[in-house]
Every structure is written in structure tokens, then in C-alpha cells.
Structure 1
């Protein structure tokens, strides 16, 4: 509640406040996830009502399938004569985290009834966002992918239930772009890579882990199902810029060049954008980055940018991504993705031709630097700049009409 009070004026454009795992340790009388009374003695409805006054919506985290503890207790499905053990006999894993849920044997109407009751309960609490983890095909990491079973039928039923109440449904983790059409049909968003956290005892992430996601994002460009027109967005994981613990910035990023590139890339691909940090602790300098009106406008355009050339940062350190804006302008992000696991690389000249962003060859454009608001004047045919490793420049191109 206090975070919501602070976020209202420190981050006025941000809408959801989401809890990760840990909010629930057990089930209710109908086998549904329920909140910890030690953490929420007044219930979640009291929390969501407070958030609503500030223009915020509450988000929670669950796993697909039937909770094993609810199965063991064999509690009833709400409003029916069925019990949990009627839904499961084969005891197949229900998600990528083994030993937590069971997969229903068959996805019959009674399973839909169970998920409907779950959505009904969350709606009663005022929940507006549900992250569902351990989804598959997919899951795992880059070395051991596909750790999650194929629970798409469960996800279909969950999506149907949550849509009735306008609840955003987010899938996780490392969802396979080969099934992009399925994920877009089933949900509103999907995590597309491993956790961004480095699991260090000192810092949250690294510049290298941030730039890894550029390559992953490029795999979703040609799926044709990402963006506001489809109601589905990729999720590159949390933006940890400016995370402070004990008075010390622990985001693990090399410098402010990387921080701006981090925010800018999430914006230009319109990734689900979650800060991952307590807004009460983020320094004003980084709040200004996270609240930059021009960058947020680019993000809220809701369409995914595409790369010029390869979007694989290992093959192409000189990245240029672009997308059209609704007012006819073109947004371009140039960035030097020359980072290694433990260090930054070298400066590079980065350029692009205007014909590469859908303009007629020989076109002239007026260019503005989005981060600084500076006018860079009129340019014809191409643009070039030298960028430090990890540095970016976000441009807004306004095509000039030439009368002969």
C-alpha cells in the first residue's frame, strides 16, 4: 500500500504492482490458491482497494495445474459434486517446477469449472494481473530448455477464465517463439528468455545479461503476432535500473550508457515493462530515466521494432532497430551492443540508410534525439554516429515533404 502511495507521484504512468511467488502457501476449501494471512491479515481485497484509489491494479503469481496439496486433501471443485482426485489419476507434472502441481488427465468441462472458480476468486480480490510460471512447451534455460511439460490446454482454459474478468495473463518462462501463435492466442504476454537476475550475492544483473535479450527479441519479430493489434507482447523480464538496497545501487550495470540502452530497448520493442525495484528507493536520476516522456511514448506505441540486418548481438554489435509511430514519424534506436560477460568492448561507428526504415531513397528527414530533446537538424539519405560500448541513441525521424 505504501509503495502504491509513493508510486502514484514518483512513477505516475505505471499501472500494475505485482507480487512474485511467496504470497501463497496453501489452498482454500475449493483447492484454489489463497493468500497468506500472516502477510495479509485483512485480505487481498483491502490491498487491491487501496491500490485502486491510486490508479493501480494488483498482480499475483501462480502455476498451472492442480495444486498437489489440494489433490492430497481431495477438496471439492466449487459448485460441483467433483473432487480434486476426480481430475487427476495419472499424476503427471503440471508445470516446469516439479512436485508442485498435477496436470489434469483430460481437459474436460469440470477442469474449466475449476479454473473459472479460480478466476472468480481472484476477481473478488480485485486482481488485475496473473503471472503463470512453468509454462510449456518451453521453460528451462539456454542449456536445458523444454523443462516444462506441454500444458497449453490448461493455459487455454485459464486464459478463457481470466478474460471474463479482464485479468491480464502473463506466461513464463523462456517461451519458445516457434509457438508464438499459441502464446498470443492464449495470453497477453510471454517471458521469452531466462531470468535477467545474475543471482550474484552483490548485484542483481549484468550488462551482458541485458544485451543477451536483444538476440532473443529478434526471434519474435517475424512471428507477426506481437503488439497492441494482437493484444500480445513479449516480456524481456524486469528493468532493474536504479535498484537500491541498503542505500547502495545494486543493479549491476556498468554505467548510465547501459542503463539508458536497457530502458530504450524495452521501449522500442514495447516489452512488458516492470521495474523490479522499490520506487521509494530508486534515486531521482534513475526515476527520471524510467519516467522519460518521449521514451514512454515510444513504449506505449505498442508495436514491436525490427532490426536492420541481424538482431543477433554476437554476430552484429552495431545494432539498429526501428518502428513507425502512429503520427507518421519513425523511431530508430542505434546502440553499441559490444559487451562481454565481465567487461565492455569497444566504441563503434553505427549508421543506417533511410531507405532501410521504409523511406524513399534520397529522402531527407528532420531528426530529434529523444533522450536529450535536441534537434539534430536535417539529414539526407543516411545517418551515422560513434557510440561507446553499451551506449545508445534514440532518434525520432520526421520525413520532410519536398516540393519540386
Structure 2
């Protein structure tokens, strides 16, 4: 090397070091990914999920139609997560000449050479990428559902785990099987290659542009909860992490659950009083466990048209339980009937208006994530009004899970204060089947005598000048209280 070249090299080095640059790669704080993850979901996530309306049978045309309506009608109110639920990888057997499924869960699933799930050629012939890209074009976030574990199809083929010398059979726990979906085996997180499998799956999701993961059958398995959290934190893409379902939640595993952003604490909630009662029970149990970045999830909002891929078969009146239908199938009374995912058959939500008011008021006061479940292109005006109501959203996004302050004679009062304010919201719930005329004192609302408030009845849209209310069966009074200066 001559002197001239040395001088040029020296000049280049001087410029680099003069600018404070270094050839050494920056060391990243090992805790940084987890800290970045916790910056997500600072208020309860809001979005749409396909399960209530399409079960595990959402198809490309319906997905795109719902996405466009989402952007038009929900996005302006702060909703942003568009989530495709289970079944997107299933090569379903179909009823002749239709898009309707002929099996509850697909016998055949689409996987690649590494055992990673791929979009169904049956329901998503163009793959998911056009939907994901359109979602992002519209300024929305894309979400997808995954089942715990590794596909049995991967175990059968003993597919390699990407980037390792291990294979599916090295990590699968064949004794760990979901009660309602037998497509996967669990993953034994103590086995070499287990974390790497979850890493490879989540890295694929990151490459696709996934922003939200709803992970099913995971809550009873804290080690796998943590394995998925680790995978998300190493993938390089921010993702909201939602745990589901939640009818069997071990409270002692709360530290593992808090690696996620949402924790389902109810079974599947449908359009009936049983579902409402289950939400109230879960609210009692989990009040106070929420915090920015971690929300107690009471499941989806079953408003609008439901179960579009499950038309009512001949010989079924629509009110039978699944056990009743199963008995009729077994006896031969019914034929060519498949008990599909979800509950019941194609219908408009069976909630009464009072139940709908109660449902959405409960969601507002409990700070549960707001994930709309009904079909958006056919959504009725009343349902849309409730899920986009300004006071509902203000209360919900306040991010404080209300507490029970009164419980007497099937009447409950729940109170949610505003952050760092004396203002807030109150729900008076008639949990009985009869009309109630009720009179309360200031102390019943935890107000002190010298406090003055302007109180607004949200659903009646009027100011309240006394504490006397008449409430319909399973109905609610939703109040907003504020000092006169701040109202």
C-alpha cells in the first residue's frame, strides 16, 4: 500500500471517528425487547375478530368486505386491530357447490417444509398477504389466531425445525392435546429446539406483517405462554399478544400471563344471559389486575349478524343445545348435519336491547378490550351506535377496571373513576328478571355529602336531579359524574 492510499484510509477513519461512529455493532440491552413490548396496548385494544360471525371458516371475500367496512365505520372511532381467527390454514372439506364447511375442524392443514402453518388454499387462494397489505394501506393493524403447539401434520412428517438440527418429534408432547381442537400437539419447552420452533413461527408472522397475535389454548400452560413471549420479543416486530381462552385461569401464574397484553378470563361469550352472567363473575374475580400494557379480556362483542357460515339445517329449530343435536344425529333423526365451531346457526344477535345496553356498559366500566365479533357489512345501526358511542369509548379507554361498590337484592353498582380526577362513570345493573324501582343515597355511590356533581344519564341522555331510577329486567343505568366546572 503506498503513502497516498494510507493517507486516504486515514482520512476516512478520521471522518468516522470524528462523527462519533464506530465499526462495532451496538450492544442491545437484553431487557429492551420486553420493555418495548410493554409500550404496546397502553389502553385496552379495540378491533374486530372474525370468530363470532364466521367461526373458523372466514374466507377471502368476506375478510376483504369486513376490512373495508371496518376502515370506514370503526377506524374513525379508534378501532384498529383487524383479527382473523382460527381455521385460516385449514383445507376444509366443503358442502357440494358451496363455501360452507362439511367438517368442524379441517382434517388437512397447510404447512411448509418447516412445519409452519400456511394460508388455506381453500378459503384464501391468494394467501393472506393481499389482506395484510390492504389492512396496512388503510392505516390498520393486522391480527391472526394461532393454536398452542405444533401441528400433528408436522409431527407425522417429522419436519425439521428451522435453523436447528432438531425435528418436530424432538419437541412435541403427544400427551398434551387441546380439548376442543386436535390439530396440534403441545410443545415440551424443556426440550432443545422447542424455543427455536416458536421463534421460527413468530418470525414468519413478523415477516408477513402481523401486528396482533391471539394465541389459543395457551392459558393453562405457563411455560408455553413464556415461550411465545420470548419468541415475540426476539422477532423484531412489535406485536400485541393476546391469551385465550380463559375459563380455566390459574391466578398463581399471573406473572407469566403478564408477559402478554391481554388475558381472557371467560369462556366464549355469546348472545345470551349466561354469557352476561359469566362476564359479571369474571369482573368480580379480576377487578384491579389491569394495568397499562396488560388488560383483563372478557371476550368479544356478539352484536349484529352471527355464524354466517353455519346455516340452519332442515329438521333443526335453532334452539337445541349441541348435546341435543348430537343425540339426534346419533339416533339417526338428523343426517347430513355437522356441529360446527361456534354456537348455534346463522342469526341476528339474540340479545334484547336491555341486554345490549348492559353488555356494552359492562365493557366500558371494566376496561375490557373491545373486540367486535359480528359481521360488519350487515351491521345494524343500533349495534354500531353502541360500539362507537363516545361515552362508552371514553370510559373504556380510560383504562381503569371499575370496582363493585354496592351489591344488594340483585342490584349491583360498579364505579370507574377517571385517572387522577374526581370525575368518572357509574353503572347501576339490575341483575334480576323483574322491573325494579330504586332509590339511592349519595353514600351508595361513595359520594361524600359536601361533594357536588353534575350527573348525566348516558342512555336516557338527560341530567339526573335525584337518585331515583326505574330499571328494566337485566337492564342498566349508565351515569357520568363530573364537577360543575369540568362537565
TM band (smaller chain): 0.7 to 0.9
| Equivalent residue in structure 2 for 1:291, among 383, 388, 397 | 388
Gaps of 5+ in 1: 138-150, 198-204, 339-344
Matched-pair contact (CA < 8 Å) for 2:148–2:216: yes
Deviation at 1:98, TM superposition (A): 6.2
Structure 2 CA distance for aligned equivalents of residues 212 and 105 of structure 1: 32
Q: Does the alignment pair 1:210 with 2:276?
A: yes
Deviation at 1:352, TM superposition (A): 5.1
Deviation at 1:177, TM superposition (A): 5.6
Structure 1 CA distance for aligned equivalents of residues 238 and 168 of structure 2: 27
| Equivalent residue in structure 1 for 2:457, among 359, 369, 373 | 369
Q: 2:365 — aligned with what? A: 268
Structure 2 CA distance for aligned equivalents of residues 112 and 355 of structure 1: 54
Q: Does the alignment pair 1:37 with 2:121?
A: yes
What are the Cα deviations for residues 174-219 of structure 1, in whole angstroms up to 9, with x where unaligned?
142623623542321122222223xxxxxxx223432332122211
TM-score, normalisation: structure 2:
0.68
Structure 2 CA distance for aligned equivalents of residues 225 and 288 of structure 1: 29
Higher strand share: 1
What are the Cα deviations for residues 55-111 of structure 1, in whole angstroms up to 9, with x where unaligned?
2222222211222211111111111121112223x6221544464333334435622
SS of 2:370 mapped into structure 1: coil
More moved, 317-326 vs 90-99: 90-99
Q: 2:348 — aligned with what? A: 250
CA 1:370 to 1:183, structure 2 compared with 1: closer, same or farther past 3 Å? farther
CA 1:242 to 1:103, structure 2 compared with 1: closer, same or farther past 3 Å? closer
CA 1:351 to 1:17, structure 2 compared with 1: closer, same or farther past 3 Å? farther
**Which is greater in Rg?**
2
TM-score, normalisation: structure 1:
0.81
| Equivalent residue in structure 2 for 1:196, among 252, 258, 269 | 269
Q: 2:338 — aligned with what? A: none
Gaps of 5+ in 2: 1-63, 90-108, 312-345
| Equivalent residue in structure 1 for 2:411, among 314, 318, 339 | 318
Matched-pair contact (CA < 8 Å) for 1:45–1:124: no
What are the Cα deviations for residues 118-158 of structure 1, in whole angstroms up to 9, with x where unaligned?
11111111222222222343xxxxxxxxxxxxx21111010
Structure 2 CA distance for aligned equivalents of residues 108 and 114 of structure 1: 11
**RMSD over aligned Cα atoms:** 2.5
SS of 1:38 mapped into structure 2: coil
Deviation at 1:41, TM superposition (A): 2.7
Q: 1:132 — aligned with what? A: 215
Q: Does the alignment pair 1:86 with 2:170?
A: yes
Matched-pair contact (CA < 8 Å) for 1:354–1:363: no
| Equivalent residue in structure 2 for 1:168, among 235, 240, 243 | 240
Structure 2 CA distance for aligned equivalents of residues 232 and 352 of structure 1: 34
CA 1:166 to 1:96, structure 2 compared with 1: closer, same or farther past 3 Å? farther
Structure 1 CA distance for aligned equivalents of residues 444 and 192 of structure 2: 51
1:178-189 matches, cutoff 5 A? 178-179=251-252, 181-182=254-255, 184-189=257-262
Matched-pair contact (CA < 8 Å) for 2:218–2:224: no
Structure 1 CA distance for aligned equivalents of residues 241 and 72 of structure 2: 27
Runs in 1 of length 4+ with deviation above 6 angstroms? none
Deviation at 1:40, TM superposition (A): 2.2
Structure 2 CA distance for aligned equivalents of residues 366 and 175 of structure 1: 42
Q: 1:347 — aligned with what? A: 435
CA 1:291 to 1:105, structure 2 compared with 1: closer, same or farther past 3 Å? closer
CA 1:302 to 1:109, structure 2 compared with 1: closer, same or farther past 3 Å? farther
Q: Does the alignment pair 1:5 with 2:68?
A: yes
Higher RCO (CA-CA < 8 Å; seq separation 6+): 2
CA 1:45 to 1:179, structure 2 compared with 1: closer, same or farther past 3 Å? farther
SS of 2:477 mapped into structure 1: strand
Deviation at 1:357, TM superposition (A): 5.2
Structure 2 CA distance for aligned equivalents of residues 109 and 358 of structure 1: 56
| Equivalent residue in structure 2 for 1:232, among 294, 300, 305 | 294
Aligned pair count? 360
